[in-house]
Amino acid sequence: MVWPTVPRTFLALDPNEHSLERSRVVLLPVPYDATTSYRPGARAGPGAIIEASRQMEDYDTELGCDPSAVGIYTAPEIEPHAGGPKAMAARVHQAVAWYAGQDKLVGMLGGEHSLSAGAVRAVVERTEDVSVLVFDAQADLREAYQGTRSSHASAVRRIADHAPVTLVGVRSMTVGEAALARTRSIPLFARGPEPITDVEAIVEGLSANVYVSFDLDAFDPSFMAAVGTPEPGGLGWWEALAILRAVGEQRRIVGFDVVELAPAEGPEACAYTAAKLVYKVIAYATRDST
């Protein structure tokens, strides 16, 4: 085509230039929510993130580079599985394993948080010494919730079945979850009245390889209201990015997800913020190769 077009891809990147073969990063949209117990709608999250990302600009002012230079392939959406969250996580596992098997850095766009366990499993199966850094307002450590062990409320518990977990941004949990975090010595950086500034303490507890699972409700709902379970007193934008930047600098990010955007529950700006977060994680994770 000789006329200008705007592709329906992440950052509106040219799909010929950013083909699977030529890209270092694969973004995998998974439009699925079924176990969401408060405000459903995360199934619309991946589409909203990609749509909003088409308005973003490519240069990273913080790092002084073009993170998209590594190649970012927007993969076809995974079809939802009506058999339930466990079957859906298995489908995610299958897809992430396939892309990761081609040496791609896979970023899953959710969708509800229960999907992350499938992606983590795929990464852990092919990479040694992986720990998972989870950003979340809730601990999500329940063994089961509403009759399933694969609920969004059990998301971190199911991740922990595959790899050690560090939790950041938590400000809501049950008595049982608090006890479990203590007995299992899960590093838990709760968000209180002050911002989390002890970045080194977080990074120190992580393995050489890190999978980042980012539930958007970790952010403060004042700028991230479009989530299923908004919780006051969350992380600030640069507060979270400082942690992610340090992880990218001191560890190898081997996979990530950004989940739980429920676009209908908040201002449209939330989808843009989520898209920008995805781009920042890509930037921190691939910085050496740009």
- Contact positions toward Mn ion, by CB under 5 A? 113, 136, 140, 155, 215
Beta carbon nearer to Mn ion, 104 or 113 = 113
Q: How far is CA 279 from CA 8, 38, 199, 255, in A?
A: 16, 28, 21, 13
- Shortest Å, Cβ 164 to Mn ion: 17
Alpha-helix runs per DSSP H in 82-206: 85-100, 116-126, 155-160, 175-183, 199-204
- Shortest Å, Cβ 112 to Mn ion: 8
- The span from the CA of 168 to the CA of 243, in Å, is 10
Beta carbon nearer to Mn ion, 56 or 178 = 178
The pair of three-digit structure tokens given for residue 152, joined into one six-digit string: 């969004």
- Shortest Å, Cβ 83 to Mn ion: 22
- Shortest Å, Cβ 215 to Mn ion: 4
Beta carbon nearer to Mn ion, 142 or 245 = 142
> Is residue 182 a contact partner of residue 167, using CB atoms and an 8 Å limit?
no
- Shortest Å, Cβ 269 to Mn ion: 21
Q: How many CB atoms lie within 10 A of CB 57?
A: 9
Q: Is 81 left (phi over 0), alpha (psi -120 to 50) or beta?
A: beta
Beta carbon nearer to Mn ion, 140 or 257 = 140
Beta carbon nearer to Mn ion, 67 or 107 = 107
- Shortest Å, Cβ 107 to Mn ion: 17
Beta carbon nearer to Mn ion, 95 or 134 = 134
- The span from the CA of 181 to the CA of 141, in Å, is 8
CA-closest candidate to residue 261, choices 80, 9, 43: 43
The pair of three-digit structure tokens given for residue 207, joined into one six-digit string: 């393995």
Question: At residue 209, what is the residue type?
Answer: N
